[in-house]
Amino acid sequence: MPQRPVVIGVDSSTQSTKAAVVDAEDGTLLALGRAPHTVTGESGARETDPENWWGALALAVADALKQAAVPSAAVTGIAVAGQQHGLVALGADGRPLRPALLWNDTRSAPEAAALTTALGGPGAWLARTGSVPVAAMTAAKWQWLRAHEPATADRTAAVRLPHDFLTERLAGIAVTDPGDASGTCWYDTAHGAYDPELLALLGLDPAQLPAVAPSAATRAGSLTRTAADALGLPPGIAVAVGTGDNMAAAVGLGLGGAAGGDGLLDHPVVSLGTSGTVFAATRTRPASPGLSGFAAADGGYLPLGCTLNCTLAVDRIATLLGLDREDAAPGDGLVLLPYLDGERTPDLPHATGLLTGLRHSSTPRALLGAAYEGAVFTVLRALDELLTACGLDPADQAVRDRPLRLIGGGARGRAWTGTVRRLSGRPLVVPAATELVALGAAALAAAAVTGAAPVALARAWGTGEGETLPPVPRDEETWTRIAHVLDRAAPTLLS
Positions annotated as catalytic residues are: 245
Burial of 166 (0-12, 13-18, 19+ CB in 10 A): buried
Distances in Å between the alpha carbon of 482 and those of 265, 309, 316, 356? 27, 16, 20, 10
Closest CA to 76 of 444, 434, 462, 454: 444
E strand or H helix at 175, and its extent?
Answer: strand 175-176
388, amino acid identity:
T
- Exposed, middle or buried: residue 285 (CB in 10 Å: 0-12, 13-18, 19+)? middle
Strands 466-469 and 219-222: unpaired
Q: Which residues of 216-229 are buried (b: 16+ CB within 10 A; e: fewer)?
A: bbbbbbbbbeebbe
- At residue 89, φ and ψ (nearest 5 deg) are -100, 120
Say which amino acid occupies 438: A
Residue type, 349: P
Give the side-chain half-sphere CA count within 13 A for 93.
Answer: 3
* Residue 437 parent element (H or E): helix 436-450
DSSP states along 65-109: HHHHT--GGGEEEEEEEE-SS-BEEE-TTSSBSSPEEPTT--TTH
Secondary structure class of 10 (helix, strand, coil): strand
Burial, 154: exposed, middle or buried (Cβ in 10 Å; 0-12, 13-18, 19+)?
exposed
Contacts of 71 by beta carbon, 8 Å cutoff, 6+ apart: 3
Q: Which amino acid is at 474?
A: R
**Rounded to whole angstroms, what are the CA distances from 307 to 340, 380, 382, 457, 474?**
11, 10, 8, 30, 22
Type of residue at 219 = R
Residues whose CB is less than 8 angstroms from the CB of residue 302 and which lie 6 or more positions away in sequence, other chains included: 179, 246, 247, 250, 257, 279, 280, 281, 282, 294, 295, 296
